[in-house]
Amino acid sequence: MDGCRWLVTGGCGFIGAALIGELLRRDPDVCVRVLDDLSVGKPGAIGLDGSDAATPEDVASGGWAPGIRLARGDIRDAAACRAACEGADVIVHLAANTGVAPSVADPMMDCLTNVVGTLNMLEAARSGGVPRFVMASSGAPAGEVTPPIHEEMAPRPVSPYGASKLAGEGYCSAYARTFGIDTVALRFGNVYGPGSGHKTSVVAQFCGAVIEGRPVRIFGAGTQTRDFIYLGDLLDALFAAAETPDIGGEIFQIASAKETTVNELADAFAAVVESRGHAVVGIEREPPRQGDVLRNFSDTRKARERLGWTPRTSLEDGLARTFDWFVAHAD
């Protein structure tokens, strides 16, 4: 994909910044535009400072050039999306409300960002003639089903977040079948890795707690299961989704295909931390959270067969790399 023009929404966030780092590593002359409202992500995550941010219209008027251009804009703003997308070859759509809890607290906010924002981006892809659109979805659309989750299961979202991601998947399907855009929805497992310092997901929360000498927090009995996928493996899947031919309109489960209870995660994490001379000082147990499902892990055969993708990183290695990053970036 040499010479490819990439638009990454949410590019200053956890996954977006890692994707951009990898794009630059693969091709130092790559052309990348980032559309991010900087509500969560920071320009520093992609090696820029605030003064590098311009309006999407200003970025568009400068045309495409090697390097990273940051368009500060909101995906709920259709005009900003249109300006940012024009002339792109691939859109990787990561900007979103990313959490179950905020979606429970404010379902309308979640809908406007994840449903209307995604529709704005698809419309911008259509008007800008962008051939490929990769959307970040999640296991949440599947909801309360008996795992392993696979692409053919009837979805039953539990949280508003699951519902809004499911709507995004629905629009991706429609834009592939009606308008011929090669949309690909990737249902990420629970992603962890370096650069997740601002995240409230369980691995990031565990790492932050150990660094600050606080107990780690577990919601419910800790018997709930999740499918933890290391960031580097997820990036491989994003590249495969951007580059593989004949997958327009498809959905893929992108996860480790392993079911891990939060208690098992805590044990594996404690071992990693101890091997590095740190310690988990205790466990604080809190009531289960509304909207959280009990069991979640994926069947990833479709991704292996159609994308040629398999995860390579063990939980222990991934936890070690993540914890080392937190230690290196502790204040």
Ligand X SMILES: NC(=O)c1ccc[n+]([C@@H]2O[C@H](COP(=O)([O-])OP(=O)(O)OC[C@H]3O[C@@H](n4cnc5c(N)ncnc54)[C@H](O)[C@@H]3O)[C@@H](O)[C@H]2O)c1
Q: Which residue has the tokens 């962890």?
A: 192
d(CA 141, CA 154): 9
Of the two residues 134 and 270, which places its CB atom closer to ligand X in the complex?
134
User: To the nearest whole angstrom, how small is the minimum distance from the Cβ of residue 316 to ligand X?
Assistant: 19
Total residues contacting ligand X (rule CB under 6 A)? 27
Spell out the residues 6+ positions from residue 152 whose beta carbon is closer than 8 angstroms to its own.
Answer: none
Interaction between residue 103 and ligand X (CB under 6 A):
no
Out of 30, 32, 36, 216, which residue is the one contacting ligand X (CB under 6 A)? 36
Figure out which of the listed residues 121, 130, 136, 255 binds ligand X, where binding follows CB under 6 A: 136
Q: Which of 6, 7, 10, 147 binds ligand X (CB under 6 A)?
A: 10
Kindly tell me which of 51 and 246 has the beta carbon lying closer to ligand X: 51
Candidate segments 33-41, 57-65, 291-299, 307-315, binder of ligand X by CB under 6 A: 33-41
Q: How far apart are CA 81 and CA 15, in angstroms?
A: 20
Q: Which residue is catalytic, options 161, 171, 192, 230?
A: 161
Q: Which of 240, 52, 40 is closest to 32 using CA atoms? A: 52
Of 10 and 311, the one with the shorter C-beta distance to ligand X is 10
Site string for ligand X, 48-87 (x = CB under 6 A): --------------------------xxx-----------
117 binds ligand X (CB under 6 A): yes
Kindly give the pairing relationship between strand 225-226 and strand 250-254: unpaired
| Between 76 and 304, CB nearer to ligand X | 76
Which of 128/168 has CB closer to ligand X?
168
The three-state secondary structure class of 120 is helix
| 159 contributes a contact to ligand X by CB under 6 A | no
- Per DSSP, the residues of 50-73 read GGGEE-HHHHHHT---SEEEEEE-
Please give the residues from 170 up to 209 whose contact with ligand X meets the rule CB under 6 A: 188, 190-191, 201
The half-sphere exposure of 190 on its side-chain side, counting CA atoms within 13 A, is 27
For the question of residue 161 being annotated catalytic, the response is: yes
Which of residues 20, 59, 84, 94 is near ligand X by CB under 6 A?
94
The residues, ordered by sequence, that sit 6+ positions from 81 with a Cβ below 8 Å of its Cβ are 35, 56, 73, 75, 120, 121, 123, 124
Residue 227 as a binder of ligand X (CB under 6 A): the answer is: no
Q: Give me the torsion for CA of 57, 31, 243, 184, rounded to 10°.
A: -20
Check binding of 314 to ligand X (CB under 6 A).
no
CB of 309 closer than 8 Å to CB of 264: no
Does residue 160 touch ligand X according to CB under 6 A?
no
Question: Considering the rule CB under 6 A, would residue 95 count as an interface residue with ligand X?
Answer: yes
Contact call for residues 64 and 109 (beta carbons, < 8 A): no
Please name which of 268, 292, 13, 26 lies closest in space to residue 161, comparing C-alpha atoms.
Answer: 292
Task: Output the smallest distance, CB 265 to ligand X, in A.
Answer: 13
Secondary structure of 196-224 in HEC code, one letter for each residue:
CCCCCCHHHHHHHHHHHCCCEEEECCCCC
Q: How far is the CB of 114 from ligand X (least distance, A)?
A: 7
List, by residue number, the catalytic residues.
Answer: 161
Q: Which residues bind ligand X (CB under 6 A)?
A: 10, 12-16, 36-41, 74-76, 94-96, 98, 113, 117, 136, 138, 188, 190-191, 201
